[in-house]
Structure 1
Amino acid sequence: MSTFPEHDLRPAPAGSSMWHPFADMHAVKSSRTTLVRAEDVWVWDNTGARYLDGTASLWYTNVGHGRAEIVEAIARQLGTLDAYQCFGDFANEPALRLADEIARRAPMDAGKVFFTSGGGDSIETAAKLARAYFAARNQPDRTILLHREHSYHGTHGVGTALAGIDPNRVGGPFVPDVVRVPAFDAEALDRVIGTLGADRVAAFFCEPVIGAGGVLAPPPGYIEAAAAVCRRHGVLFVADAVICGFGRLGNWFGIERFGVRPDIVVFAKGVTSGYQPLGGIVAAGHVAEPFWDEPGRVLRHGQTYAGHPAACVAGLVNIEILERDGLLDRALKMETVLEQALQTLVDHPLVDHARGGIGFLGAIELDADRLAEAPALPATVMHAVRRNGALIRPMGTAMGFSPPLTATEEHIDLLVDTVRTGLDEIHRAPRSSLSNGRSAS
């Protein structure tokens, strides 16, 4: 059990002015789920209802909720050096130590770590660095960034441009020289680079397992073949490990699963298990070299809170827990448990198929005919499952799962049973209520 005290904040007013991300505020403003505490795989709302966290919040609570040792380390750090920027020649001990720990685990030689405040910031950093690297190598025309169908790389300017999920491109893209390629076709990637001209392409952004785009694992050999295409053309291979890193695929950055040594790794989320906002990139030695070994060359980029000492302390303790508790190995074991459990749902009339098998994450694809009748079906499923005590995420036409790495087989059984109960409620409801956008209750 957690040793830190119950939260003691006054309840928020019902008519809060808070604008939620990715939310229909017309609906949310009158119906919020306000969470007040959490422990391991469980969270509680302000009515006392308990939920099994089937998504590790937003893919990131890898070590579980309520780890007192992380909270206490953050508090100690705030009482010593609360905050200071890392621009120019400033640093702090936690940032220096965490950079070394991350670089030591990264799947590249002589890696250098550039901290940010989160995943979207890190994508911006990787894109700027890729272009700056080629400019430093007297190849300033190499500015094109490649991304894949179904990809998700955050919602900042570059991330919006790199969005392979079309609804996420609303309001953008504003970044030039961005080209989409098929998600799982290395030959198509090769053709696109050839058509564009390799001397114009800077980087290829690749999630080891596509996360928000539907939990789409790559077919055998695809990641390796795509990396080989990039090497052949001199294109930087950027592994987006924001979701896949820090244990989610059973290793530190996800990409190691495929034997690929990327030029840049992007990380966030699981680096602190969400206890503090933190992200960053690891640049391979050859990418960092122009900026580290040549005098006077400055990457004019950075975020105010990058390298924040309290965030970096959270990262250090989080890594200790991941190693001490064997959570990377546990993820490898539990990926099969989760996949097999999700497969038990494929007989349900609302489910088309289940996906999983590479990493402790998975999805169920909803039936296409029912989706055509009721486009809001994923949100309806989410709410029905929540009413029955579990939290899962709608992702386009699917429902996503990514529990904390501490989840047990019993937790997974309970999660899937709860999902089936929610699906049954919806299936029994009149179809007209679903087509009108109302969830079963």
Structure 2
Amino acid sequence: MSTAPRSTSLWHPFADMFEVRSSQFCVSRAEGVWVYDQDGRRYLDGTASLWYANVGHGRTEIVEAAAAQMRTLESYFVFNDFTNPPAEALADRLAGLAPVDGAKIFLTTGGGESIDTAAKLARQYWAQRGQPERTHIISRGNAYHGTNGMGTSIGGIEVNRSGFGDLVPATTRVAHDDAEALREAVEQIGADRVAAFFAEPVMGAGGLYPPQPGYLEAVAKLCAEHGILFVADSVICGFGRVGSWFGVERWGLRPDMITFAKGVTSGYLPLGGVVVAERVAEPFWEHPGRVFRHGATYSGHPTVAAAALANLDILEREKLLQRADELERPLHETLLELADHPAVGEVRGGVGLLGAVELAPEVLAADPGAVGRAQKAIRDLGVIVRPLGKALAVSPPLTIAESEIELLGKALKEGLDTIG
């Protein structure tokens, strides 16, 4: 028997609450790559929730690790000289996996906090180096770096930046796929005033754009030439999403900092952090009295750290990073079958287990709400995809089967048929 929608008290992020307040889609349970609504109907989770359910849903190993830790020490802070065994073990493990020399790990509770941490640390690093004028942060158009203060200020999705009054100053955005645009910005601002450049390996929420060939290598080289800190935002791309631990290894990158979250626990508990290269940590670690006055209450939370360690065990044991590599091509080929659909303008993907289908300009011109309508039509067919501006995005759990990828493609086509 269907449950009638009720008016909610829950304010949903990124939602038109006038529409949503009495028309929520209630997910009541999940298992593997499937989620179930409150009426028991199942849906293929084509987005791994919000990009993060990398090992799939219902993994009892993670639940049991968290429960066991809560019976011993549920929570305690790691400010000053306090620590706990799971936080220490997690930091050591992540440092060992990171493609960064002498890595240090600053733990947070999510991606937005990680971005703010990295941006503040970049400015503090230069102040400690005797160059306090190096405060400028360059990012990219279409970039999404969360919704905290720094993340909003350096984000490149303009609708997410507007309406909040003055944002953090000394920030600039450049074209997301043009290394020469970054060089020109550095020359205009002055390299001696630029603290850091932030870039996602594969641009996620801004429309899902894989990097142009050679782009990431070129901007990393440019940053090195000018002493600018290169920060890889791997919140979406890490922990197998593009076939490696931190989403930068396939390009041979060794960033000064890497922000991470989401897949580090597969979303079972909130966790993020920043991998910090030894040279960036050095002013704070090798000299007394230099305190980075920043941190979150739940940084190093022992229960969350225990869940992360169990999640990393699954990723390693089941070789899910390699599986993402194996499924990258089948997913992209499935999406490319939609390229000639009359409602489709462009298909993007081929780098990692994620992709996007952008609607044709004429379809969007005739119906600005076409993306939302298509997303709901596809959901009615039993598959969840994510509306992103002009496109529909997919990023399924790394545990998805090829037959389930085919189901995802079939539902996308049938849903697109309803609008074009």
Which position in structure 2 is the counterpart of 1:325?
Answer: 318
Which position in structure 1 is the counterpart of 2:18?
Answer: 26
Which position in structure 2 is the counterpart of 1:3?
Answer: none
CA distance in 1, matches of 2:62, 2:29: 16
Map Cα deviations across residues 344-367 of structure 1 (whole Å, 9 max, x no partner): 111211111211111110000101
CA distance in 2, matches of 1:314, 1:125: 22
User: What is the Cα deviation at residue 49 of structure 1?
Assistant: 1.3
Report the residue type matching 2:106 in the other structure: F
Question: Any residues of structure 2 matched to 1:31-430 within 5 Å, and which?
Answer: 31-170=23-162, 171-172=164-165, 174-427=167-420
CA distance in 2, matches of 1:187, 1:397: 27
Map Cα deviations across residues 82-111 of structure 1 (whole Å, 9 max, x no partner): 111111111111100000110101111000
CA distance in 2, matches of 1:241, 1:424: 34
Q: In 2, are the aligned partners of 1:161 and 1:173 still within 8 Å (CA)?
A: no
Map Cα deviations across residues 184-210 of structure 1 (whole Å, 9 max, x no partner): 111121111011111100000010010
Using a 3 Å threshold, how does the CA distance of structure 1 residues 371 and 302 change in structure 2: closer, same or farther? same
CA distance in 1, matches of 2:390, 2:91: 38
Map Cα deviations across residues 85-143 of structure 1 (whole Å, 9 max, x no partner): 11111111110000011010111100000000100000000000000000000000000
User: What is the Cα deviation at residue 61 of structure 1?
Assistant: 0.3
Q: Secondary structure in 2 aligned to 1:43?
A: strand
CA distance in 1, matches of 2:146, 2:237: 14
CA root-mean-square deviation: 1.1
Map Cα deviations across residues 188-246 of structure 1 (whole Å, 9 max, x no partner): 21111011111100000010010011110111110000000000010000000000000
Q: In 2, are the aligned partners of 1:160 and 1:172 still within 8 Å (CA)?
A: no
Aligned length: 417
Q: Secondary structure in 2 aligned to 1:403?
A: coil
Using a 3 Å threshold, how does the CA distance of structure 1 residues 325 and 285 change in structure 2: closer, same or farther? same
User: What is the Cα deviation at residue 14 of structure 1?
Assistant: 2.1
Using a 3 Å threshold, how does the CA distance of structure 1 residues 390 and 126 change in structure 2: closer, same or farther? same
CA distance in 2, matches of 1:390, 1:173: 40
Taking structure 2 as the reference length, the TM-score comes to 0.98
CA distance in 2, matches of 1:167, 1:41: 32
Report the residue type matching 1:217 in the other structure: P
Q: Secondary structure in 2 aligned to 1:202?
A: strand
Taking structure 1 as the reference length, the TM-score comes to 0.93
Q: In 1, are the aligned partners of 2:143 and 2:157 still within 8 Å (CA)?
A: yes
Report the residue type matching 2:74 in the other structure: D
Q: Identify which range, 104-113 or 345-354, moves more after superposition.
A: 345-354
Map Cα deviations across residues 14-65 of structure 1 (whole Å, 9 max, x no partner): 2221000000111111101111110010000101111000000000000000
Q: Identify which range, 284-293 or 169-178, moves more after superposition.
A: 169-178
CA distance in 1, matches of 2:391, 2:304: 33
Runs (5+) with no aligned partner, structure 2: none
CA distance in 2, matches of 1:324, 1:406: 13
User: What is the Cα deviation at residue 316 of structure 1?
Assistant: 0.3
CA distance in 2, matches of 1:12, 1:301: 46
CA distance in 2, matches of 1:401, 1:239: 22
Q: Secondary structure in 1 aligned to 2:416?
A: helix
Q: In 1, are the aligned partners of 2:45 and 2:396 still within 8 Å (CA)?
A: yes
CA distance in 2, matches of 1:163, 1:188: 17
Report the residue type matching 1:127 in the other structure: A
CA distance in 1, matches of 2:138, 2:293: 23
Runs (5+) with no aligned partner, structure 1: 1-10, 428-441
Q: In 2, are the aligned partners of 1:198 and 1:235 still within 8 Å (CA)?
A: yes
Q: In 2, are the aligned partners of 1:157 and 1:173 still within 8 Å (CA)?
A: no
The percentage of aligned residue pairs carrying the same residue is 57
Map Cα deviations across residues 264-308 of structure 1 (whole Å, 9 max, x no partner): 000000000000000000100000001111001100000011111
Q: Secondary structure in 2 aligned to 1:140?
A: coil
CA distance in 2, matches of 1:347, 1:284: 45
Using a 3 Å threshold, how does the CA distance of structure 1 residues 173 and 240 change in structure 2: closer, same or farther? farther
User: What is the Cα deviation at residue 172 of structure 1?
Assistant: 4.9
Report the residue type matching 2:102 in the other structure: A
